[in-house]
Amino acid sequence: MPYTFLVGGARSGKSTLAVRLASAFEGPVVVVATAEPRDDDMAERIRAHRASRPSEWEVLEAPLGLLGAIEAVRDDASVVLDCLTLWVSNALEDGSADEDVEGEAGKVASTLASRTEPSIVVSNEVGLGIVPANALARRYRDVLGRVNASFAAEADRSFLVVAGRGLPLEEVTP
């Protein structure tokens, strides 16, 4: 079954597309969620995401320890990982070194690629704007960019999501 990577800007429709893709799966679906309700805005976003998904879907909260969460998903379930953006932020805020974040990301991507049932991963593309003014923001942009690239490299198909539509991303070879 395909492993699909969805990347795009904030509010571009990535999560909605992920739910639509996972809804086509006839078996159980497990959502691995990385968000934490640290303020009212994030609590509302989490509430809206929960409301948009079928109530029978299982949710695993994994703001950190992403590999363990993915390994805990039953073999017959489809996985929706939403999202790498917050997971990378959480890991850096927790004090993880760049190479540790990128190493765990590579293991998660490989684990998802080896699963029999469909996996769908959501992430933001944060590298399309101006160069951030501070070192932490530049570090975050760079680590997330490398994490996104590792997930796209393992995926069967990748899409840039813009205005709720997926544009296929293809590997360019010489």
Domain boundaries, the chain: 3-169
Query: Catalytic: which of 49, 53, 92, 144?
Result: 49
pLDDT under 70: residue ranges of the chain: 1
What pLDDT does residue 1 have? Answer: 60
Indicate left, alpha or beta for 11 from its phi (over 0: left) and psi (-120 to 50: alpha): left
- Burial class of residue 173 in the structure, from the number of CB atoms within 10 Å of its CB (0-12 exposed, 13-18 middle, 19+ buried): exposed
Residue 172: the pLDDT is 85
Fold adopted by 3-169:
Rossmann fold (3.40.50)
How far is residue 144's CA from residue 141's CA, in Å, rounded to a whole number?
5
pTM here is 0.95
CA angle 154, 159, 163 (to 5 degrees): 155
| pLDDT for the residue numbered 94 | 97
- pLDDT of amino acid 2: 87
Q: Is 49 a catalytic residue?
A: yes
